[in-house]
Chain A
Amino acid sequence: MEDRKAQAEKIVSDMEKENVLSKVEELIKNNKVSFEHDNKKYQVRLLNLSEKEELDMLRRKKFGQLIQDKDILLEKDLIIQYKSRGIDINEIDDQIKKLVAEDVDLQMQLGEAISKNETESILKGYKDQIINLRVQQQILNTQKTLLLEFSLENQLLNHVAQIITYLSLDILEGDTWQRMFSSLEEFQKYKDENLINKAASYSMALQYI
């Protein structure tokens, strides 16, 4: 009984993986992906030239607003503020660089071991050390990201992500695709967060990695 349950779970998990993979495949082949949400069909696609110009215009507009706001600091100024309070972000950067250098060094040793067809236990030894270094890098990167979360640069990036999602989401009406939102304000006031999150994950994968 347990075996059958485990098998069923594996089949469902494989199907989910397959589905995600086929969505990625669709994104790569067509530069767009369609999906259903609440019995309606949507698609996210790569921006065309005029939409890219609109994105650029909205980005510049937002930058103009942010730079005038005295409560919002540029990353470099935020780093100085933190330093005066005893938090040294440059030191975090140095630690990250050191870990990356160690990581590369271990990778070179692992690569050599692979080319010499060394035993699994030797390869695993290197792999575990690399994983350990990457966990440390991840912790430091997260720490840095959280500290700089409210910098002007990060606020602008978040805004750009919103604009891209607003511009790239279409809805199927009849048999033609129409832009889902006619303005950024309409997008920002939209209540269905599930739809926005789904569209955002596709649009980020497509145009922002």
Chain B
Amino acid sequence: MSLAWKVTVTVVLFAVCAAAGVILIVALLGTPPTVDYTAQSPGGAVNVALQTVGTYGSGSHASWVSYLVRSPQGQWVHTTNFQVPAHTRINVTIYQYDSGSPLRNQQTGLVTGTYGNAALLNGKTFQVINSNAGNGVAHTFSIPSLGINVPLYANNGNANLCGAAPCTLKSPHNIIRFSFTSPGSGNYRWQCFVPCGLGFLFGNGGPMSTLGYMGGFMKVVA
């Protein structure tokens, strides 16, 4: 076998091994599941339910803050991916179980992109939250490309807050409701704009940078 052949074979084998390694790592890391709401109420509004918890409470990142999504069957799923039909009214209910703080940027204290640029906090309409007063803001639900931003009012940090997901209504909570119309098909990134990744640079690492915790995708299908 000539030197050229040896080099070629070595390079090809290395490339194959490297590709296999990458595929294996990606497969092991996995991606959070997607909760599918498209079968719900065909032609009508779709009801999406989320919850936020201060600490997930189990698994490899038990201390991380996280969102969860409730499936149409009523089960809480540890994911941040959900799928909705296009051009449909989306009614979102968020059960907020976490404490809060003043916002790094109060601009995200404003409700935008929802019907009437407003939301309901425990049944009362609001358009802005002063994060420097009261319990502050725990998290936001924001889809930047759609201009949607909803601040989630926090619970009192001294209360006996839920420490493990999924939380139930027995724990201190706030219920935030809002609606918007889904756009055309595509993947729309959403995230929390409160730097709640404690212990990470500027609070935006860890759960803020990991799918399945504080950001994900709203998949819109025709």
Q: Do A and B bind each other?
A: no
Give chain B's interface residues, CB within 8 Å of chain A. Answer: none
